[in-house]
Amino acid sequence: MTLNVWRVVFVAALVLALAFPAFADVAIPQLTGRVVDQTGTLSSSDIASLSQKLRDFETRKGSQIAVLIVPTTQPETIEQFSIRVAEAWKIGRKKIDDGAILVVAKNDRHLRIEVGYGLEGALTDVTSRRIIDEIITPKFRSGDFAGGIADGVERMIRVIDGEPLPVPSPTVNFGSLDDLAPLFIVTLFVSVGIGGAFRAALGRLLGSIATGGIIAALSWFILGSVGLALALGGLGFIIGFIADLFSAITPGTGRSRGGSWSSGSSSGGWSSGSSSSSDSGSFSGGGGSFGGGGASGSW
């Protein structure tokens, strides 16, 4: 019995070993915070103070900086690995692209400052190289990783501070909101306009369902995201339903479009859609893009 169990375990291990060949690229770490340390190099207090510093910097300047420490990037070079990380994490604000990532591959003894498009004027290749060569690596050589990273980040912050950037907006960046805004308007129009016709033909409940379905289909066409489409469809259903009730209880309006229009535009759906909850605890990239700017070094 136990022998059988062991055999199963052994076979499973073998299958796993075959499924993940040794030459696979290092997986991109989860963006769990502003400082991601996969090597246990930094103490929790180091990470806390560094994250706090970066958070304050972001609220003050709007620009995002992240720090990543991995054991190795083999078989990729650090440049290949860190551009993949940058593309996945999307540090920095969308369209401003003011993000930077400090990547340290501890066992390879390589590090890199990856600079987003918007910061290439401030954190030039030469400046990044100097921060690496003159500030970070001397401390790394003496084994002071926490100090090297803290000083390097400090200098990056000071360099970026000299760059005029758009002021940070108080609201949290919800990337696809720009794409959603017109759809809310479409939702309103469709649910109020077409919804009326549907309700006349099918009755209140079925008519509202059909309205919601049409909106969902439309949003799915435009956005290509099922979740968002369902959400908007639900919104359309509710608006259709409420608009109908509204015109039903409003004396004298009957199915007047004015009545349902004003109830539809009472901006309830609008504001609830746009006020996405800002979770200050977690951290996510704002959608900034990178093009390989920055510099690498070793110690």
Partner 1 sequence: MRKILTVLAALASLSLTNCGYNAIQSEDEQIKANWSEVVNQYQRRADLVPNLVNSVKGFAQQEKDVLLGVTNARAKVGSIQATPEVLNDPAAFQKFQAAQGELSSALSRLLVVTENYPQLKSDALFKDLMSQLEGTENRITVARNRYIKSVQDYNVTIRSFPSNLTAMVFGYKEKPNFSVANEKEISTAPKVDFNTAPAK
Name the CA dihedral angle for 285, 289, 291, 294, rounded to a multiple of 10 degrees: -40
Contacting residue, 83, 150, 232, 235, with partner 1 by CB under 8 A: 83
The yes or no reply on residue 68 touching partner 1 (CB under 8 A) is: no
What is the closest distance, in whole angstroms, from the C-beta atom of residue 134 to partner 1 in the complex? 11
* Beta carbon of residue 80, minimum distance to partner 1 (angstroms, whole number): 8
Q: Are 145 and 47 in contact (CB under 8 A)?
A: no
Rule CB under 8 A: say whether 18 interacts with partner 1: no
Which of residues 188 and 229 has its CB atom nearest to partner 1 in the complex?
229
Q: Considering the complex, what minimum distance in angstroms separates the CB of residue 295 from partner 1? A: 5
Q: How far is the CB of 79 from partner 1 (least distance, A)?
A: 5
Residue 276, token pair as written in the block: 């996405």
23 is an interface residue for partner 1 by CB under 8 A: no
Q: Which is nearer to partner 1, 118 or 294 (CB)?
A: 294
Are 116 and 290 in contact by the 8 Å Cβ rule? The answer is yes
Q: Which residues contact 106 (CB under 8 A, 6 or more apart)?
A: 39, 41, 69, 70, 71, 72, 145
CB of 202 to partner 1, least distance (A): 6
State the nearest-atom distance from the C-beta of 109 to partner 1, in Å: 13
Q: Output the smallest distance, CB 62 to partner 1, in A.
A: 24
Using rule CB under 8 A, residue 236 touches partner 1: no
C-alpha–C-alpha distance, residues 261 and 13, integer Å: 64
Q: Is 55 in the site for partner 1 (CB under 8 A)?
A: no
d(CA 129, CA 273): 44
Which residue's CB is nearer to partner 1, number 35 or number 115?
A: 115
Q: Which of 79, 151, 161, 163 binds partner 1 (CB under 8 A)?
A: 79
Q: Which of residues 134-193 bind partner 1 (CB under 8 A)?
A: none
Buried b (16+ CB within 10 A) or exposed e, 131-150: bbeebbbebbeeeebbbbbb
* CB nearer partner 1, residue 134 or residue 178: 134
The CA distance from 272 to 289, in Å, is: 29
Nearer to partner 1, 106 or 112 (CB): 112
Residues 189-228 that bind partner 1 (CB under 8 A): 201-202, 206, 209-210, 213-214, 217, 221
- CB 27 to partner 1: min, Å: 19
Give residues with Cβ within 8 angstroms of 167, minimum separation 6: 62
Return the number of the residue (67 or 132) whose C-beta is nearest partner 1: 132
What gap in Å lies between CA 100 and CA 114, rounded to an integer? 6
User: Residue 270: is it exposed, middle or buried by C-beta count within 10 angstroms (0-12/13-18/19+)?
Assistant: middle
How far apart, in whole angstroms, are the C-alpha atoms of residue 264 and residue 208?
13
Contact yes or no for 286/91 (Cβ under 8 A): yes
Residues that bind partner 1 in the complex, under the rule CB under 8 A: 79, 83, 124-126, 128-129, 201-202, 206, 209-210, 213-214, 217, 221, 290-296
